[in-house]
Amino acid sequence: MTKPTPKARPKQKTPHKRYFDTEKATDNDDGGLERVQVRRKSQQNFVGDFIKMQTKTKKTPAFVRKAPKKPTAEPADPAEPQPKKNPIPQELMDKYSRGEKVQPKGVKTRHFKEQQTRKEVYLEYATEQAARTELLLQEVPGQLEPDEGETTAELRQAEIAGLVDLQSAAKHFSLSMEHGPYQLRYTKNGRHLLLGGRRGHVAAFDWVTKRLHCEFNAMESVEDVQWLHVPTMYAVAQKSWVYIYDKKGTELHCIKRLSRVNRLDFLPYHFLLAAGNTAGYASWLDVSIGELVGNFNTGLGDIRLLRHNPSNGVLCIGGGRGVVSMWSPKVREPLAKLLCHSTAMTALTVDPKGQHLVTAGLDRAVKVWDIRMLVQDKPLTHFQLRLPANELDVSQRGMLALSQGTYLETYADLLSGGGTADYQKLPYLRQRCDAFVHGLRFCPYEDVLGVATAKGFQSLLVPGSGEPNFDAMEDNPYETSKQRREHEVHALLEKIPPELITLDPHEITGVDAPTLQEKIDAKRRLFHVKAPRIDMKSRHKMKGRGGSAKAARNKQIVKDAKRKEFIAEVRQAKASVFKEHGAKVAKPKTKAARSVLDRFKPKPPKKRKA
């Protein structure tokens, strides 16, 4: 058996030339391969010619227009501030501006200068963000614009309801009821309506959908009604006491400490129910804890005119002498008094922004006051009417509504003035009611004016009266029950204590530093201070331990010691005052100590008698 011959090994193939290998000719051999080291691009030194590739360009059709070349912008100087991408109009910036910048020139230390500069940057950013929120406000307030030769006062409610859309026209309605005269209140978000008749009729309903919540007869006279912090609770001032009911008409509380109440008002940020009764007592009830925060006699007699200032929570009460007094629950004296009319007042209201006070009196005058500047004794606007105005109210957009008996007028601007006696300034709208008007209220966030008369209720359309955009975190007309509960909890956590109700709420953020006049008066009082009276009660001792003479002597010793301490303190204070003002304090003359050698000194000459 023969073995197979082994296969021969394959010959080694010559390596192929690669892109990084070059052929190098030498003298010893015909040629060889040498490895080329690959370098980075930054280290390569290219030597050679560039090959230009010519490509066929497509011809553009004739109908295609070439876009013009944009001019190349010059390089901007880095020192100059570059303009913002979306600039804000200056009008919006002025609208939300908080005033001129504070110049850090007079600030002494560098730390406070930087702090003030940083604060101005924050304020500028806040102003810019507030101005940018205008983009989210989609609704625009509207108003009636008459043609040439026409006036808006000629339009009637039936004509206005025919010109608007169906949803807005449904907001114009009237209710005929037999238990009047009536009082009305809208909720803070403007969704629910509460009516109270003098003969005991009480009704609460959603006036937009006309859905009735409850309706009952209290079987006694009803003076006033008022919603509380949620639309499920309201207060009714009945003949003797104030009662609180829920949404279904169930009685929750009877507050007997509020008796014979004529007017009710509610402070939503303080959770205070304010009341004024026939005896002249002003009362504040904290509905969150059920306690009276303040209750004292104002001395104004029967309180029929009562409104609160939404900006600071101060209660404005009108009297029969034409004086408006402003009250706080923690101060037993009025914070301020304003003489508005020379006769008795008939109506009183405060605008929703808390800037203007509108009053009316028997002198047939209507006056608008700036309650931020009570130093001025002149009203901003003063106009006369044919009859005294018995009801007043101001809308969110600054419209003024007033009634004279059964006649109703609305003015587009609060400060424009003009009445029925002035034919140059006609009102915005006029309306004749079927009975005497006993209540007027503008509905928040709606172009609606609610009118309560002796025979029922009327809902009138006033285009442009309500604020078109609402803040859902503050007042939401479309809130659900869950949102309402969340809002109630947040409002309770952010409740403002009644001690902070003052005329100027910004005083709390400042420092109470004494004025120059107060410092001068304090220094003057130092020279007329009497020693305080000291009442010392000696300790009772057993019989025989001490007599009355010894006790009287000890008492006199203590009084003398206290008096000497007081005199020393007064002298020290007077000396510090003289030293501060550079006055020379007279030093008492001290006699030199006598010596044995004084007998050798010459004697002073004796004064001769004249």
Q: What is the mean pLDDT of residues 27-37?
A: 51
User: What was the pLDDT predicted at 543?
Assistant: 63
Please report the domains of the chain, with CATH numbers, ordered by start residue: 90-135 (no CATH), 152-500 (2.130.10.10)
**247-261, 273-287, 366-380: the lowest-pLDDT one:** 366-380
Mean pLDDT over each residue of the chain, to the nearest integer: 83
Digit-coded pLDDT (tens) for 35-74: 555 566 555 555 555 445 444 445 544 444 444 555 555 5
Q: Which helix (H) or strand (E) holds 237?
A: strand 233-238
| DSSP H stretches of helix in 96-156 | 110-132
Instruction: Tell me the pLDDT band of 26, cut-offs 50, 70 and 90.
Output: very low
Separation of alpha carbons 347 and 393, rounded Å = 9
pLDDT at 363 over 80: yes
Pairs from 423-426 (Cβ < 8 Å, separation ≥ 24): 425/383, 426/151, 426/153
**Paired strand residues for 222:** 238
Report the share of the chain in percent with pLDDT over 70. Answer: 80
Cis peptide before 181 (omega within 30 of 0): yes
Q: What is the mean pLDDT of residues 424-447?
A: 91
User: What was the pLDDT predicted at 51?
Assistant: 47
Digit-coded pLDDT (tens) for 112-169: 888 888 888 999 899 988 888 877 777 778 888 888 888 888 889 999 999 889 999 9
More confident residue, 608 or 184: 184
Separation of alpha carbons 430 and 154, rounded Å = 8
Token pair 């406070």: residue = 112
User: What was the pLDDT predicted at 47?
Assistant: 54
What is the distance in angstroms between the CA of the first residue and the CA of the last residue of the chain? Answer: 184
**Paired strand residues for 408:** 403, 431
Which structure tokens are listed for 269?
């940020």
> What is 441-507 written as a DSSP string?
EEPTTSSEEEEEESSEEEEEE-TT-S-S---TTT--TT--HHHHHHHHHHHHHTPPPGGG--S-GGG
Digit-coded pLDDT (tens) for 281-309: 999 999 999 999 999 999 999 999 999 99
More confident residue, 463 or 377: 463
Three-state DSSP class for 321?
coil
pLDDT at 27 over 50: no
Digit-coded pLDDT (tens) for 540-574: 666 666 677 787 888 888 888 888 888 888 888 87
Report the share of the chain in percent with pLDDT over 90. Answer: 50
User: What was the pLDDT predicted at 50?
Assistant: 46
Separation of alpha carbons 209 and 302, rounded Å = 38
pLDDT at 88 over 50: yes
Separation of alpha carbons 207 and 192, rounded Å = 6
Digit-coded pLDDT (tens) for 512-535: 788 888 887 877 777 777 777 777
Nearest to 431 by CA among 161, 191, 220, 221: 161
Digit-coded pLDDT (tens) for 106-124: 788 888 888 888 888 999 8
